[in-house]
Structure formats: structure tokens, C-alpha cells
Structure 1
Amino acid sequence: MQTRRHYTTRVAALALAAAASALGCSAQADQTTDKIRSALQSRLGIDAGDIKGITRAPMPGLYEINLGTQIVYSDANGDYVLNGELIDTRAHRNLTESRLNEINRVDFAKLPLDNAVKVVKGDGKRKMAVFSDPNCPYCHQLESTLKSIDNVTVYTFLYPVLSPDSTAKAKQIWCSSDRAKAWESWMVDRKAPTAAGTCDTAAIDSNLALGAKMNVTGTPTVILADGTRLPGAVSAERLERGLNGAH
């Protein structure tokens, strides 16, 4: 009959073996991800800071490379890279899109909304934020689309990244007595802002720093109340679905 002491000793040994095994797997995973990172940096010229993370993908033998606003896949050696979407055919689910949404999800409540141009439509119950450049054609397109969306509060973070004129216009809009009117007049009706642009524009500098931190690499970038990002000039139908789902 096994004594209590022998039983305890055996359990402890099993626990140590399991821990050692886990550490071995972790070390192996670190070696693999380090190998992939090194290969991609040296062969493709990817900067170290551009690779946000490397993890195992749901598909055996494949690794997910998080590039911030994009996901690509690699084998364990970094010899081959796939640039495309990984689809779960059983669940009819786009795994790449789901992971991007997860990785880039924003805590809406922590956005510095005081640094945004606020436009309220209807009851304003639904909420969204947009990083937008005054001279971005797709931003103008999005603003035209927003004319057909009601019962929403839109917080526009002026994000002048295209040209010096974008910066000048952003400052003029921010310094206007009615920022919302100045923004919509320019973006929808093409009536240039007339303010001098010499007020305190620290908010715009903060927006640029915030966007860089959040990997906002293109305009417009829409952020819904649930933290989901919608890049580009999305359609009214897509916006409505997103707003209703996030509300």
C-alpha cells in the first residue's frame, strides 16, 4: 500500500516535471519567434518596432505576425510569408479580421474627447470617433456619407498628416468660434475656414501623438463606441450596422 509520504513525493515530482515541460515549451516558442523576427527583419527589411508580436496561428505550423494595422503569417523559420486572410471554414469566420479587431480595439472611454471637434446629430445617443485629415479625399467622402446618418455624436480628431496645408487648415478649424460648423463647411461644402489659426492648437499635436500610439496610419479611421475600428470611407450601411451594434 502506498504511504501518504510516497504519494506526496510523487505528486510533487509530477508537478515539477509539468513545470519543466511548460518552461521547455515556452523557451522553444521564444526561440521560434526570435528566429522568425530575425529572418523577417534581415530579409524583408522590417524594422524591429514594426513587429508588435508573434504568436502561433490557429492553423498548425503557421505563426501570426502582428504588424499593428496588418497581420501576415509565416512558417516557423521565416522562410515563407503569407499575406492574406485566414478563414475558419467550419465556423464561417474570418480569423484575420477578428484578430485585427481584437489587437486594435480602442477603449473609447479613454479617448480625450475634449481634443475633438464635436458634431451632434439628432438625439446623439450613438457615438463614434474619427481621425481625419482636412485634405483627405476619403475623409470628405466619409463626411458626405455622415450627412445621411442620424442620432449620432461624432467626435472628429483633427489629424493633419498629408501636407503643411492640412496642418494650416486644421489649426484654422480648431481656432474657429464654431468648430463644428467650420469643419462641416469645409469638408462638405468646400468653404475654406477663415479663422487665423493662431489660438492654442496643442490639441492637434496631442492628436498626432495619440494617433501614432494607436497605429492610426490612414485617414479616415473610424472608431465605434465598442472600440471597433473601421478604416477608410465606409458606407452608410456599414456605419449603421456598426453604430447599432456598438450602441
Structure 2
Amino acid sequence: MHSNRRAVLRTALAAAIGASLIGLAPLAAAQQTQNPDAVRVLGEMGKATVITEGKGPRVLDIFFDANCPYCHELYTALRPEVGKGGLQFRWVPVAILTPTSVTKGAAILQAPDRLKAFHDNENTYGKGPTGQGGGITPATKVLPATSAILNANNALLEATKSPGVPTMLYRDKAGHAMLVVGPPDAQQLKEILASVK
């Protein structure tokens, strides 16, 4: 990811975290659109390294940062849907928000069981050493292969032109490539999940 784009994303997302910590509404309301960027990136999602929950033909790709409060909100909202209706959630780890996003993302990716590590991070969100962000203990060393994974996933997120995370990509029942930015409310999430092809 280009350093200026990364700086813009960090600034926006740091502001979003600040807003969440003082109880303000999220800065980015959920937006669902079909666009050429979503079409292109969906075609490249085979290059992403993902953490998969559920099995089935109905795929929802979700870009997340281990320290993102709105990603955690989406994670929590999706718990009752895991394994239902042929839905497969493919969580795409990125590291764009804070310096520990890299080391926490690495801790997840370098774990023997990535899904368990992802769950540990989210289930202990806000309960880590700093009391903020994902709860997983950051990796003390980021392996070159892990850095390459995070960089590749970051590049895919950048290609969507999304202003932040969570960013969801999927095809709807009409075959349109859909992009959703921000945490949807309960009704929006219900509609999104029903529309996944």
C-alpha cells in the first residue's frame, strides 16, 4: 500500500476508534454499492489469504484489522449466522490501523490454528495488555512470509478504494459485485446476508 494512502486510512480509522471510545456513532455508515472496483477485486480474491468460517457456496469476504472496533462489532453480529444458510465468511486480515495491527495480524496468521487465533483476538477484544483493540498477544517477530501476506491483503483492500474497514465484498443473487463499507445495522446485515448469492 502506498504510504500516503496508508496514512490517510490510519488517520480516518484512528478518528473512528476515537469516536467509538467516547461513545459516538461510527463515522462510516454502511454503504452497499455495485462498482467496477468490487468487480475487479472479487476476481482477484484468490490471491488473498483468508480465515474461513462456515462452509457453503454463498461467500462473503470481509476485510478486517485486528484492532478495528467496527470489525469487532461486525464479528459479534455475525456469530449467530456462522454455519447457516450455506454462508461462508472469509475474513481477510489487513494491517492498516495502528502499529500493533501488524503484530496482532501476524500473531493470527502465524498461529498453528488461524481460526482459533482469530476467535481469541475477537473474543478478548479490549481485554489485551493495553485494554484497547484486539485481545491477542502481538507477535514478537513478523516473519517475511507473514509480512508478504499482510501486504498482499492490504493491496487488495486498497484496490477496492474503500475508505476503511470493515469492508465486505460479495456477489448478490443477480450476480452483481457488491461492496459494503462500515458496520451495517441489524436490518442492513439481515438484507446483506439474504442477498449473498
Secondary structure at 1:135 match in 2: coil
Q: 1:105 and 2:49 equivalent?
A: no
- Counterpart CA distance in 1 for 2:79 and 2:47 is 21
Contact 1:140–1:187 under 8 Å retained in 2 = yes
The separation in 1 between residues aligned to 2:159 and 2:49, in whole angstroms, is 16
Structure 1 residues 203-229: Cα deviation after superposition (integer angstroms, max 9, x where no partner): 111011222222122111111234211
1:61-76 equivalent positions in 2, closer than 5 A: none
1:207 equivalent to 2:153? Answer yes
Q: CA deviation at 1:109?
A: 4.4
| Correspondence list, 1:43-192, <5 A | 100-107=33-40, 108-112=42-46, 114-120=48-54, 123-150=55-82, 151=84, 152-190=87-125, 191-192=135-136
Structure 2 gaps of 5+ residues are 6-30, 126-134
Using the alignment, how far apart are the partners of 2:117 and 2:137 within structure 1? 6
Letter in 1 for 2:152: S
1:124 counterpart letter in structure 2: G
Structure with the greater alpha carbon radius of gyration: 1
- Structure 1, unmatched stretches of 5+, are 1-49, 51-96
- 1: distance between equivalents of 2:47 and 2:36? 22
Shift in alpha-carbon separation, 1:113–1:128, aligned structure 2, 3 A: farther
Letter in 2 for 1:127: V
Mapped to 2, the partners of 1:236 and 1:156 lie a distance apart of 19
The AA in structure 2 aligned to 1:244 is A
Whether the 8 Å CA contact 1:104–1:228 is kept in 2: the answer is no
User: In 2, are the aligned partners of 1:139 and 1:220 still within 8 Å (CA)?
Assistant: yes
Correspondence for 2:11: none
Q: Contact conserved, 1:142 with 1:233, CA < 8 A, in 2?
A: yes
Percentage identity across paired residues of the two chains: 24
Alpha carbons 2:63, 2:92 under 8 Å: kept: yes
In structure 1, C-alpha distance between the alignment counterparts of 2:108 and 2:188, rounded to whole Å = 28
Runs of 4 or more above 4 Å deviation: 193-197
| Aligned residues of 1:221 and 1:230 also touching (Cα < 8 A) | yes
> Structure 2 length normalisation: TM-score?
0.65
Asked whether the 8 Å contact 1:138–1:232 carries over to 2, the reply is yes
* Secondary structure in 2 matching 1:105: helix
Alignment check: 8 A CA contact 2:92 2:153 kept = yes
Question: What CA distance in whole angstroms lies between the structure 1 residues aligned with 2:68 and 2:62?
Answer: 13
